[in-house]
Chains A and B, each alone.
Chain A
Amino acid sequence: MRVLLVDDERELVSTMAERLSFRGIDAEWACTCDDALKRVESTIFDLAVLDVKMPKMSGLELKRKLQAKCPGMKFIFMTGHGSKDDFEAGSAETGSEYYLVKPIRIEALIDKIKDACTK
């Protein structure tokens, strides 16, 4: 299973990738949407974990672009907006049941990754 983590917080995604790799998940990371779009040209990823709000391009826009390049790719969104209303609005907006609020428990992320990849 290969996962691409995308968030403009470099120290977050790099650490998450390291922790996922300890748990048997092959994870790479990108800090910009442009970098993420380049990565998928040379590597096949099963799933991408996207921050909702990123500079220049939102996670939703990035999802659409990634989907066009990689039709089978699954998605999980993460956000720093933590209220219940934010969560519900974000879930509706992303149209995704895979929506996590930061700080994220690594085990919860792994559960979502496995769940998404087996559907």
Chain B
Amino acid sequence: MSRKFDRAGEAGLQFYGKMTASMSHELKNVLAIIKENAGLLNDFTCMAEEGGMPVDLEKVKRVTEKIAKQTRRADGIVTRLNRFGHSIDESSKSVDLWDLLEFVVALSGRFASMRGVTLERKPPASRVTVTTVPFFLENLVWLCLDFAMGVAGTGKTVGLIVEETKNGARIKFTHLEDLAKVPPDTFPAQRAKVLLGALNSELAVDVEAQEIVLTLPESIGG
């Protein structure tokens, strides 16, 4: 088990790097917007002081609202970053699968946007939990999502469904119309296979149903 976990940990480092780089990039954009708007407020002040142009309070209000909005956005990114960092804390834990999926979707938002893919989620009727390694599962869900977004392509939608099963749960990645065009054995690739092994889980690529299905045991030890 330990060797299996070490190999999954190596895959996890790539995932960790990709996600933190993406979040830092997003934060840079937010900081750039805050900086420009702070600069704009300074411009208003300079124009009033040096040019005698009266300050337009409506404009000032509009700019301060933009700064407040971007501050909230930055807070959301940092909160995600913090949660992501802490997902390594526990090696095994009971997780709400829908909550975890929503979190990975939030982490993947920028990647989906870059690819022009919409992620459509359908929440389960009731809470679905599994006992698993949260960080490995986040990584595996990301790999599935990354593959699914690549198959879907620009302007398309990937559906995400969480369902309870008799012995655990499953996540379906649906609407993959072009799945038949993907060469067999493309997915799962090595990294995903390592994680599937570490999580005692299974992955089915169903070309006919145009979906991939990740099946998880109720408990990783079970």
Contact = CB atoms under 8 A, between A and B. Distances in A.
Interface of A: 8-9, 11-12, 15-16, 18-19, 22, 53-56, 80-82, 102-104, 106
B25 A11 contact: no
B29 A9 contact: yes
B40 A12 contact: no
Contacts of B47: 22
Contacts, number: 62
Interface residues of B, number: 25
A22 B43 contact: yes
B159 interface: no
A104 B40 contact: no
A106 B36 CA distance: 8
B138 to A, nearest CB: 23
Contacts of A106: 36, 39
B28 A53 contact: no
22 contacts: A9-B29, A9-B32, A11-B66, A12-B32, A12-B33, A15-B36, A15-B63, A18-B40, A22-B47, A53-B25, A55-B115, A56-B115, A80-B26, A80-B29, A81-B28, A102-B29, A102-B32, A103-B28, A103-B32, A103-B34, A103-B35, A103-B36
Main secondary structure of the interface of A (DSSP, over half): loop
Contacts of A82: 24, 28
Contact of A9 (B33, B40, B115): B33
A80 B22 CA distance: 10
Contacts of B154: 56
A11 B43 CA distance: 17
Main secondary structure of the interface of B (DSSP, over half): helix
Contacts of A56: 114-116, 154
Contacts of A104: 32
B50 to A, nearest CB: 12
Contacts of B36: 11-12, 15-16, 19, 103, 106
B114 A53 contact: yes
Contacts of B114: 53-56
A104 B70 CA distance: 17
Contacts of A8: 113
A19 B39 contact: yes
Contacts of A103: 28, 31-32, 34-36
Contact of A19 (B33, B40, B66, B115): B40
Given A11-B70, A55-B113, A81 B43 contact: no
A57 B24 CA distance: 21
Contacts of B113: 8, 55
B71 interface: no
